Structure 1
Amino acid sequence: MEEKSKDFLAGRVKDLATRAYMNNFITHTDFLSVSEIAMFHQILASEGVSSNVHEYCGARYVIYGGFDDAERAMVCFLPEYMDEETFLLSEKSEQTVLSCVSIKPVNSKFSDDLNHRDYLGSLMNLGIERDQIGDILSGDKQAYVFATPEIAQMICKELIRIRHTSVKCEIVNASECDIRPEFEEIQGSVASERIDAILAFVYHLSRSEAQKLIESESVFIDGRTAYSGGYDLKEGARVSVRGHGKFIYLGQQNVTRKGRLFVSVKKFI
């Protein structure tokens, strides 16, 4: 479950992008963590490639995890004839890059109360590597796992029990997954829209504690590592904080009489 080194990832994405461009077919990475996706953006920046262009070594790319707001995702490099919209429409119908597995108890009446750790542990016990599966969305008596098609088939064949609960698995269309990360909207006043100020507000930290998180490269804004506490968040920015969670910055609502900003965020719980 170790993260990929920057040199390894740099070589891998260059090879995949080149193959997609030269051979005109889809290639993709394994599932990457939030920090590995940030590393991918760093690799592009180090080569003078703007991540806003969504093209590398001649090939267009899409960061895709199976649904909006997916935390773990693949970098998919596209053939010349395919754009992002075409790719996403194709995946909805064919699921060639990743598959969605539904996991349910055989008898819900006698099911344990299973959580994310239970599902992940059972998959690891099958010998599956973490980079072969994406997000695990667990709800009441059911979970959905995003995985490569080969691993999805393996899960359906081999996963029959989680803790003391017998389970049944089947591959379903990702659109059938009706579980999404839950969130709460919180509002409050801050001195500015600086990332360190917003972090302190959202997670009840001191500004110095927020700054330490940034200095340890534990904060990611729209998939990119945050290096400065002075960065002003833009409305709609998606922020992930290692060890704390993630939130979407909804922006400034108004200004208080004392000149502080009244802001809103959507915090995932």
Structure 2
Amino acid sequence: MEEKTRDFLAGRIKDLATRAYMNNFVTHTDFLSVSELACFYQILASEGVSSNSNIYCGARFVVYGGAKEAERAMVCFLPDYLDEESFLLAEKEEPTVLECVRIRPVNAKFADDLNHRDYLGSVMNLGIERDQIGDILIDERQAFLFATSDIAEMLCKELIRIRHTSVKCEKVKVSDCNVEPRFEEVSGSVASERIDAILAFVYHLSRSEAQKLIESESVFIDGKTAYSGGYDLKPGARVSAKGHGKFIYLGTTNTTRKGRLFVKIKLFA
């Protein structure tokens, strides 16, 4: 992330945290990307703040994207009368920082088989900025999209078609979204647990292509930018690669006679 962007984010979160602490009300960022969330934690670390303490500039914070383990999320700073559990319970029933929009075809029988790119493209074509919408979770013939309150209202009025499919949108409770991310488990052999080797295996790249992806700062491990292809993945590590997707590394299962490792991956659809 460019230093100018990092400095802007640092100033923004400090201002939001201070306002929440001084004025005793909830403040929050827009939806942050994986790289921006990684930058947020880097800012905390650079100022000697432990992310485990969940307190910055006197205010308790919660990273919240609506869905369980959301990839895109807001950083919410809480007043002293709210703890994390109370905030999350309240948001699921009466949202104040983000809304959940359910998108369904008007006629399911004639609907296209829509994917994430279709939904996102149609939303962006309305002139909506990416930081105003969070994750989009797809379940058969419907999708749940998380957005800021103003944008959720706009989507319900203006999003009427995705590709050739007429759709209808309605705001629902966050708790009504029970869609879990879809994934498949894949396994195969690699030379080592290095991130470049695992990336090459998962996305069918050459090692040099995987290395270039890392050098462009497009690979994130547990929300933090991967700067070296020599980093060994640990079981449970969450990896995302811009333009390719995301997966969870589950670890090794066996070793071949020639020393290659059999690994297992949970690859998200």
TM-score by length of 1: 0.88
What is the distance in 2 between the residues matched to 1:209 and 1:110?
A: 40
The count of aligned residue pairs is 266
Q: For residue 60 of structure 2, what is the aligned residue in structure 1?
A: 60
Q: Which moved more, 1:112-121 or 1:54-63?
A: 112-121
User: Cα offset for 1:164?
Assistant: 4.2
Secondary structure of the 2:217 match is: coil
What is the distance in 1 between the residues matched to 2:150 and 2:249?
A: 37
Q: For residue 158 of structure 2, what is the aligned residue in structure 1?
A: 158
- Please tell me the root mean square deviation across aligned C-alpha atoms, in Å: 2.2
What is the distance in 1 between the residues matched to 2:164 and 2:69?
A: 31
Q: For residue 88 of structure 2, what is the aligned residue in structure 1?
A: 88
Q: For residue 148 of structure 2, what is the aligned residue in structure 1?
A: 148
Q: Which moved more, 1:228-237 or 1:216-225?
A: 228-237
Alignment of 1:15-94 (within 5 A): 15-94=15-94
Mark the CA change 1:165 to 1:212 in structure 2 (over 3 Å): closer, same or farther. closer
Mark the CA change 1:108 to 1:20 in structure 2 (over 3 Å): closer, same or farther. same
What is the distance in 1 between the residues matched to 2:98 and 2:217?
A: 29
What is the distance in 2 between the residues matched to 1:132 and 1:268?
A: 23
What is the distance in 1 between the residues matched to 2:73 and 2:141?
A: 25
Mark the CA change 1:69 to 1:232 in structure 2 (over 3 Å): closer, same or farther. same
Secondary structure of the 2:186 match is: strand
Identity %: 78
Mark the CA change 1:127 to 1:7 in structure 2 (over 3 Å): closer, same or farther. same
What is the distance in 2 between the residues matched to 1:205 and 1:189?
A: 14
What is the distance in 2 between the residues matched to 1:50 and 1:196?
A: 29
Q: For residue 117 of structure 1, what is the aligned residue in structure 2?
A: 117
Contact 2:93 2:174 in 1 (8 A): no
What is the distance in 2 between the residues matched to 1:148 and 1:51?
A: 25
Whichever residue aligns with residue 242 of structure 2, its letter is R
TM-score by length of 2: 0.88
Whichever residue aligns with residue 240 of structure 2, its letter is S
Mark the CA change 1:117 to 1:88 in structure 2 (over 3 Å): closer, same or farther. same
Quick check: 1:251 aligned with 2:254? no
What is the distance in 1 between the residues matched to 2:242 and 2:162?
A: 27
Q: Which moved more, 1:246-255 or 1:43-52?
A: 43-52
Secondary structure of the 1:138 match is: strand
Whichever residue aligns with residue 169 of structure 1, its letter is C
Mark the CA change 1:136 to 1:84 in structure 2 (over 3 Å): closer, same or farther. same
User: Cα offset for 1:163?
Assistant: 4.1
Q: For residue 170 of structure 2, what is the aligned residue in structure 1?
A: 170
> Alpha-carbon deviations, 1:22-72, whole Å to 9, x = none?
222221110111222222222223323333433322222222211123221
Q: Which moved more, 1:170-179 or 1:93-102?
A: 170-179
Structure 1: give runs of 5+ residues left out of the alignment: none
Secondary structure of the 2:62 match is: strand
Q: For residue 13 of structure 1, what is the aligned residue in structure 2?
A: 13
Contact 2:93 2:175 in 1 (8 A): no
Q: For residue 217 of structure 2, what is the aligned residue in structure 1?
A: 217
What is the distance in 2 between the residues matched to 1:93 and 1:268?
A: 28
What is the distance in 1 between the residues matched to 2:253 and 2:87?
A: 37
Q: Which moved more, 1:112-121 or 1:15-24?
A: 112-121
User: Cα offset for 1:109?
Assistant: 2.7
User: Cα offset for 1:219?
Assistant: 0.8
User: Cα offset for 1:258?
Assistant: 3.8
User: Cα offset for 1:175?
Assistant: 3.0
What is the distance in 2 between the residues matched to 1:118 and 1:201?
A: 27
What is the distance in 1 between the residues matched to 2:65 and 2:131?
A: 12
Secondary structure of the 2:66 match is: coil
Q: Which moved more, 1:157-166 or 1:28-37?
A: 157-166
What is the distance in 2 between the residues matched to 1:196 and 1:163?
A: 36
Q: For residue 107 of structure 2, what is the aligned residue in structure 1?
A: 107
User: Cα offset for 1:240?
Assistant: 0.5
